[in-house]
Amino acid sequence: MSGTPEGTFEALRAQLQEAAATFADGPGALEGILLGLVDDVDRAVREPLEIFPVCHHSPASAIAMTRRLREKQPKVVYLELCEDMAPILTELRNCRLPVALQAFATETDGFPAAWAPLSVVAPITEASAEYQAIAYALDTPGVELVLVDRSSDHVFQWDPRARHSEDTAARPDPSDPSDPDGVSGSSDPDAPTAGEAAAPHGDAVGLEIGDLRPRFAELEEHLLRHGRVRHWSEWWHQYVELPLGDSDHDTYRQVMILIGSLFRRLAPGDPGRVRVDEDRERHMWTRMREHLAATGTDPEDCLYVCGAFHAASRVEEFGVHGNDTFEIGPRSATQWRHGLIPSSHAAIEAQFGLAAGSVSIAATLWAKNLRRTRVQPYRLTGQAGGGRPKAGKSAPPAIPAPAVPPSDKLTGFLRQPPTLDRLDEAELLGWSVEIVRAARRNGYLASTADAIAVFETSILLAGMRDRAKPTPYDFQDAAVTCVEKDTVPGRRDVRRLVEIMMGGDRTGQVGYEALPPLARDVHDRLAPLNLKLQQRGVRRALLDIAGRPELEQCSDVLWILRRLLPQGAARPIMGERSLGERSIQESWDLALGTHQRALIELGYEGVSIEQVLEQRLRRTAHAPDATAATVLETVEDAVLHLGGRRLADELGNRALEVLSTERGVDGAPEVLHRIRRLLAYYRTSEPVLPPWIESFVKTGYAHYCTLLPTAFTDDDATVRQVAAMLGFLFSMESLALSLGCDRTQLELALAQSHPQSHTKTALLWAARTHLGGLSREDLRARCDELLGNPLTVAAYPRYLSGFLHALEPVPGLSDFVVEAVSNAFARLPDAVLLPWLPTLLTTLRSGGAELAPLLIREAARTFPGTLAELDTWTPPWLARPHPGPLEHTPHPAVAPGHSLLAAHPATCDALADRLGCEGTWAAAAPAAPGAALVARHPAAGEALEALLAGG
Amino acid sequence: MSDLLRAPAEIKYAEELDWLESVDDSPKPFSWRLSPKMVRLFILGSERSDGLEREIPQKWFGDRSLVERSIVTLASDRGLLLIGDPGTGKSWLAELLSAAICRSSTLVVQGTAGTTEDHIKYSWNVSMVIAKGQSRESMIPSPIMTAMETGAIGRFEELTRSTSDVQDALISILSEKYISVPELDSDSIVFAQPGFSVIATANSRDRGVNDLSSALKRRFNFVRIPVVTNKKSEAEIVRFRTKELLRRHQLELDVPPTLLDVLLQSFGDLRAAAAAAGSDDEKLESALSTAEQIGVLEDAVLHSDFFGERALTARALASSLVGSLARREPEDLAILNKYLHGVVEPRSREDGGPWPEFLEGGRDAIATLS
């Protein structure tokens, strides 16, 4: 085998043979498997349509792909990628890789609602074979790129759990190891948690071209143990990647198909997953045959790029001449939107369960291989980032592709003895020096001696691990051994420093042209800020709206973004916006570049942020679990961000609708606050109140009156909620009465309320005092009685809590509350007082943020300001004369209608007679207040009398 | 099997080491008796893929790369410092490494507050000095000096327990690789032979007692041995070590898997409780290491064998657990009581198995102690 040194694959051969021997059931089965492997390889190689097996994030695959494309120059490239993603591929040229192709559906149709939003991502890195194929196909005239894998819709349709457990409506978990492509389960304990690293991809289901990994934990464990490596990425790197680096095309193909076939035959794993895989293969071959038939292309001119796992397929539809029995089901009615989102190496590693740093190492290796082999990679014209020379349109130099050996490559592969790879000493030396410098910068006491030690240890470790040349993983271990001491001085430890040195995490960026219209619109509208918002990191924006009125529009956009994007994307530092309030100066911390994915995903929902906001507000307001409070919140948002009355009125009507169907009082405090704010806003800014808010007050008044008696007795309704209901009733009363409500309803409701708990009883007393049903003196007398009675004194604090809450509906009672609290401190025994104090504090802190100032102001008015005054001070409530027994005889002069009765005594006499009451008419007191006034100006009185007598 | 109470590794595994040496044809650094790969194989056990005629059992359980890094460090110019929580197997790994590399694991200096420079370098046989004057003959070499002279591995246990001046004495030994004896007129320098290195261990809980100087840190490669949290490996360690310890008492006993599970589970629970505790009073004083589990199990087995029914019971295990972990009264007892009633009781109700008996045993033990 020319081009491939004899024995490069010896180690891999030993590994695979042993795995086959361990996992096959007996020697007969082993033979069957080995023969099967040969069959698989043979079938795939004989296929007239050339199959090119790849593995994800494998620079060896990428190099082999580049070579093959340059040599064969196929006219059609079939790629294992969701077929519906084809239109966005060309946008890749506007992006800096890695980015991910995304299919996104906000609203589902045909899938359980709990799955929404559906999101599928397929990350693309530069060091991947698929990118080479895409770049070649898109930039070479006359070449067609056909995506043949099932659509994003089918990803969810074919999800094994969707088939079995539609009723449970469990969303496919992207981090679940058994997921079709989102293989997870990193074995590196130091890896960052999947949550933070995977942030760029959100909770999307990940797709990878060329997923090649044992699907059976025991097999993987076996390979790792026997390969003496820690994780799968390292195994692949050592046993496949390095030996494959320089192999010829045929060897490459055979090895890849062989590995795919072995994993498939030995341990296919979960049957549901196998079925999905086979269906995908059927789908791909069916699509390819359709395309070949439709275009009449010669299969010889085509190249089919797929994962090695699929290259070793045994389905009947396999091949150009395969069966045409597979029917591709229709897509669901779900509306899918497609776009590109930024990705990062760490996100890819987290999503697919690769070891931390492995994608970065692959990128470094790819760059090095390019330099070494002088292979000219394909690159989309206009592609940003990377900094490597473009592929150029000039004819690439002929790559000395390794000569194809005559025959029977497989036998040769299995017979090769191990050989030594060249030891790239200079590179290792460079790394050693570099890591020591990095460590020093990060606070380590590292010196040149450490660089020497790292160099030496790397070589020793590689030797011990049977590697001819230290891999980046050996180097990392050596650096940790020699430089890491008992503590980490800075933020990063040596392991992390090595990862950064090996290329670190690289985050992609989606270029302006590839952004959805919404995102472009946002950037356009924020252009007056003159900030590079596309770049990652936080930018500080200063908006002097008074000085530059045109910035007000930017401010509007920013406030909407703050409402729509995750926290941190747009954060106001100075300035605020609330109903009827706008700042003249604002400053913002903007991180739109960092949160590019969120902005792009907004773009799937609409064409402008206003439209998206409107949709979301509508959706919230019409959600089945919407409450009056949440709908009022959307009204507030609509007024605040969208202006105009149309949407606010529509949502307001919806709030009215929700309120009238509500049966609980949970949201009462929230409703009260919001409606108060909205009323205050409309009263100051509009000539007339919107009709919906008038109806809301009217309905609310009747609604809360109806619920009041139940709320007073219901244990589930808290005192705060009841207080809020009373607050609504009392503070909206004048408006409600003017709109035709009847106060009697409220009085009746209070009369029907018979609370059991002490707090609510106090609240009821306060309410009755407000309505005049209970005088202050009565209230005071009741409290005195409670304090004086040793049996009830223990309950007094609970009454006090009720009074505190009563400040909300009856703020005029604050002087009485101060008195009651003072009395509590003065008269309550310590055993009662002390345990209650924390309750008082927590009540004031949690519920009483607004009540406390009221109380403090009142207390300041009541209590003396200086210490000297305290000696002579008497509390106002003690200074007052003790009220005498209540006079039940009303003052004749103030009795309403007295004179009227005197003038027309017939009715009263008849009634008295009927009741058997013998009384006489008393003469009206002459000195009634105001009587003198009436005597001096009799005209008004006479007119009234005439009116009444006439009526 | 030797008739020593506890034979050092090189004696205990002498036959295995001899055999490995006979089949080892890889290059060996310095005067090492085994090649680095064989040392690894001796410590971590053999796989079928190693192609050896006999199976070599695993002796130390933990991450493979830790062992590799340790071996490579010893082949380099630097000393090896194993650092970790008590009971994580640092000393055992050090012993195995020395036994495999130079067949001598007993050249040990134990670091204490009373360790002096003499313990590291040399001292004098006073009677001989009076009789013959100061000479090589009247000098008593320290274990470290002996290791230097013979090209072996010297061990320094609990390095951070010894004072700074004693630690500093190691600096010149590790960098210049010789000790000068100024009292002698001739032959006053003892040079280290090839193969000499030092394995020190340090307890990470002792941090701050006698911190290592930067100069000394630079001369050591640190390998941190983590606490085993993997239940499977922990079960293997406990089984392996208990068996070995019981062999001293001529006891061949297989711990029932359910009881082993009870032990591992209860330690796991207590560790989780300790991790969640806010103050030192809320966690057990014990570090809850694997070594402690082994201690509990050994104690329980011996107790049942000597005084019980000659078979390990859950009751004996519980009482041994309480007895070993309750060190402070009342804090530790309160924690154990809380654990028994808060965790074990519901579990014994739901799961059954050995848990009800375990609960009962624990309650009795606490009642006896309080």
pLDDT of A211 above 50: yes
Find the DSSP H helices in A296-335: 308-311
Cβ distance of B36 and A14 shorter than 8 Å? no
Query: Based on the domain organization, do A764 and A738 belong to the same domain?
Result: no
Query: Based on the domain organization, do A571 and A700 belong to the same domain?
Result: no
The pLDDT, as a whole number, for residue B220 is 92
- The count of residues in chain B is 370
Which residue carries 């993983």 as its tokens? A473
Least confident of A288-302, A466-480, B9-23: A466-480
Residues contacting residue B83 through CB under 8 Å, at least 6 positions apart: A486, B90, B201, B202, B203, B204, B222, B223, B224, B225
The pLDDT, as a whole number, for residue B129 is 94
Query: Based on the domain organization, do A544 and A692 belong to the same domain?
Result: no
- Which two tokens mark B5? 């109470």
Phi/psi for A578 (5° steps) reads -140, 180
Interface test with A, best of B41, B43, B65 (most A CBs within 10 A): B65
pLDDT of A574 above 80: yes
Q: Is A102 in contact with A338 (CB distance < 8 Å)?
A: yes
A349 Cβ under 8 Å from any chain B Cβ: no
Closest partner residue to B75 (CB to CB) among A226, A460, A480 is: A460
Cβ distance of B222 and A465 shorter than 8 Å? no
A457 Cβ under 8 Å from any chain B Cβ: yes
Taking CA–CA distances from B160, the nearest residue in chain A reads A486
pLDDT digits (tens, 9 = 90+) for A128-152: 888 899 999 888 888 889 998 888 8
Cβ distance of B76 and A456 shorter than 8 Å? yes
Mean pLDDT of the region A589-598: 86
Which residues of chain B are within 8 Å of residue A461 when distances are taken between CB atoms? Answer: 68-69, 72
Contacts of range A832-837, beta carbons closer than 8 Å, 24 or more positions apart: A832/A793, A832/A794, A832/A796, A832/A797, A833/A797, A836/A797, A836/A800
The pLDDT, as a whole number, for residue A10 is 64
Give DSSP secondary structure letters for A703-718.
HHHHHHHHHHH-SSS-
E strand or H helix at A118: strand A118-124
Widest Cα–Cα separation across chain A: 137
- Which two tokens mark A883? 């009220």
Cβ distance of B47 and A225 shorter than 8 Å? yes
Query: Based on the domain organization, do A707 and A831 belong to the same domain?
Result: no
> Dihedral of the CA atoms A398, A402, A407, A412 (nearest 10)?
-170
Regions of chain B short of the pLDDT cut 70: 1-2, 208, 252-253
Query: Based on the domain organization, do A15 and A137 belong to the same domain?
Result: yes
Least confident of A358-362, A814-818, B28-32, B150-154: A358-362
Query: Based on the domain organization, do A549 and A591 belong to the same domain?
Result: yes
Q: A88 by DSSP, 3-state: which?
A: helix
| CA B265/CA B263 separation, integer angstroms | 5
Q: Which residues of A186-205 are buried (b: 16+ CB within 10 A; e: fewer)?
A: bebeebbebeebbbbbbebb
Q: Cβ of A938: how many Cβ atoms within 10 Å?
A: 10
Domain presence at residue A481: yes
Cβ distance of B47 and A226 shorter than 8 Å? yes
pLDDT band, very low/low/confident/very high, at A215 (cuts 50, 70, 90): low
The pLDDT, as a whole number, for residue A928 is 58
Q: Return the amino acid letter for A576.
A: E
Q: List C-alpha distances in Å: B232 to A177, A322, B247.
A: 21, 48, 23
pLDDT band, very low/low/confident/very high, at A216 (cuts 50, 70, 90): low
Cβ distance of B76 and A230 shorter than 8 Å? no
Phi/psi for A871 (5° steps) reads -60, -40
Widest Cα–Cα separation across chain B: 79
We find that the CATH architecture of domain B9-225 is 3-Layer(aba) Sandwich (3.40)
A480 Cβ under 8 Å from any chain B Cβ: yes
| CA A101/CA A113 separation, integer angstroms | 24
Which range of residues forms the domain containing residue A302? 10-337+344-376
| CA B108/CA A534 separation, integer angstroms | 63
Interface list for A 743-772 with B (CB within 8 A):
none
Q: What angle do CA B15, B19, B22 make, to 5 degrees?
A: 140
Helices and strands in chain A: count of H runs, count of E runs: 43, 11
The pLDDT, as a whole number, for residue B208 is 66
Cβ distance of B72 and A449 shorter than 8 Å? no
Query: Based on the domain organization, do A790 and A834 belong to the same domain?
Result: yes
| CA B188/CA B179 separation, integer angstroms | 8
Q: List C-alpha distances in Å: A253 to A15, A70, A211, A277, A283.
A: 19, 16, 16, 20, 22
The pLDDT, as a whole number, for residue A877 is 78
Residues contacting residue A457 through CB under 8 Å, at least 6 positions apart: A477, A478, A481, A482, B69, B72, B73, B76, B221
Nearest to B267 by CA among B238, B282, B289, B252: B289
Query: Based on the domain organization, do A184 and A119 belong to the same domain?
Result: yes
Query: Closest approach of chain A CAs to the CA of B261, in angstroms?
Result: 23
Q: Cβ of A69: how many Cβ atoms within 10 Å?
A: 24
The reply to whether omega before A797 is within 30° of 0 (cis) is no
The pLDDT, as a whole number, for residue B152 is 93
pLDDT digits (tens, 9 = 90+) for A786-803: 888 878 877 888 888 888
Q: Is B243 in contact with B260 (CB distance < 8 Å)?
A: no
Instruction: Please count the CA atoms within 13 angstroms of the CA of A814 that sit on its side-chain side.
Output: 16
Which residues of chain A are within 8 Å of residue B204 when distances are taken between CB atoms? Answer: 486
DSSP class of residue A792 equals T
Domain presence at residue A390: no
pLDDT digits (tens, 9 = 90+) for B262-293: 888 888 888 888 877 777 777 788 878 888 88
Closest partner residue to A453 (CB to CB) among B37, B76, B207 is: B76
Query: Closest approach of chain B CAs to the CA of A99, in angstroms?
Result: 34
A228 Cβ under 8 Å from any chain B Cβ: yes
Taking CA–CA distances from B77, the nearest residue in chain A reads A453
DSSP class of residue A509 equals B
Strand bridging mode B122-124 / B139-141? antiparallel
pLDDT digits (tens, 9 = 90+) for A876-920: 877 765 554 444 444 444 456 667 777 788 888 888 887 877 777
Residues contacting residue A297 through CB under 8 Å, at least 6 positions apart: A75, A76, A291
Which residues of chain A are within 8 Å of residue B200 when distances are taken between CB atoms? Answer: none
Question: What is this model's ipTM?
Answer: 0.81
Q: A935: left (phi > 0), else alpha (psi -120 to 50), else beta? A: alpha
Which residues of chain A are within 8 Å of residue B40 when distances are taken between CB atoms? Answer: 464
Q: Is A560 in contact with A641 (CB distance < 8 Å)?
A: yes
Q: List C-alpha distances in Å: A776 to A288, A579, A743.
A: 90, 38, 21
The pLDDT, as a whole number, for residue B150 is 93
pLDDT of A187 above 70: no
Domain presence at residue A463: yes
User: What is the rounded average pLDDT for all residues in chain A?
Assistant: 79
Query: Closest approach of chain A CAs to the CA of B86, in angstroms?
Result: 15
Q: Which of the listed residues A603, A618, A638 is the one where a domain comes to its end?
A: A603
- Which two tokens mark A506? 């690289």
DSSP class of residue A639 equals I
Q: Cβ of A937: how many Cβ atoms within 10 Å?
A: 10
Q: Which of the listed residues A450, A469, A501 is the one where a domain comes to its end?
A: A501
Say if residue A715 is exposed, middle or buried (CB neighbours under 10 Å; 0-12, 13-18, 19+): exposed
| CA A735/CA A556 separation, integer angstroms | 33
Closest partner residue to A464 (CB to CB) among B49, B71, B204 is: B71
Cβ distance of A480 and B69 shorter than 8 Å? yes
Interface test with B, best of A18, A23, A460 (most B CBs within 10 A): A460
Domain presence at residue A947: no
pLDDT of A183 above 60: no
Domain presence at residue A561: yes
pLDDT digits (tens, 9 = 90+) for A622-661: 888 889 999 999 999 998 888 778 888 889 999 988 888 8
Cβ distance of B73 and A449 shorter than 8 Å? no
pLDDT band, very low/low/confident/very high, at A947 (cuts 50, 70, 90): confident
Cβ distance of B40 and A464 shorter than 8 Å? yes
Interface test with B, best of A482, A483, A495 (most B CBs within 10 A): A482
Which residues of chain B are within 8 Å of residue A484 when distances are taken between CB atoms? Answer: 222, 224
pLDDT band, very low/low/confident/very high, at A199 (cuts 50, 70, 90): low
Query: Based on the domain organization, do A526 and A493 belong to the same domain?
Result: no
Q: Give the number of domains in chain A.
A: 5
The pLDDT, as a whole number, for residue A197 is 52
Interface test with A, best of B39, B72, B160, B217 (most A CBs within 10 A): B72
A456 Cβ under 8 Å from any chain B Cβ: yes
Which residues of chain B are within 8 Å of residue A450 when distances are taken between CB atoms? Answer: 218
pLDDT of A172 above 50: no
A488 Cβ under 8 Å from any chain B Cβ: no
Domain presence at residue A705: yes
pLDDT of A409 above 60: no
Domain presence at residue A534: yes
E strand or H helix at A382: none
Interface test with B, best of A486, A487, A493 (most B CBs within 10 A): A486
| CA A793/CA A11 separation, integer angstroms | 87
The dihedral built from the CA positions of residue A734, A737, A743 and A749, taken in this order, carries a sign that is: negative
pLDDT of A868 above 70: yes
Domain presence at residue A315: yes
The pLDDT, as a whole number, for residue A385 is 61
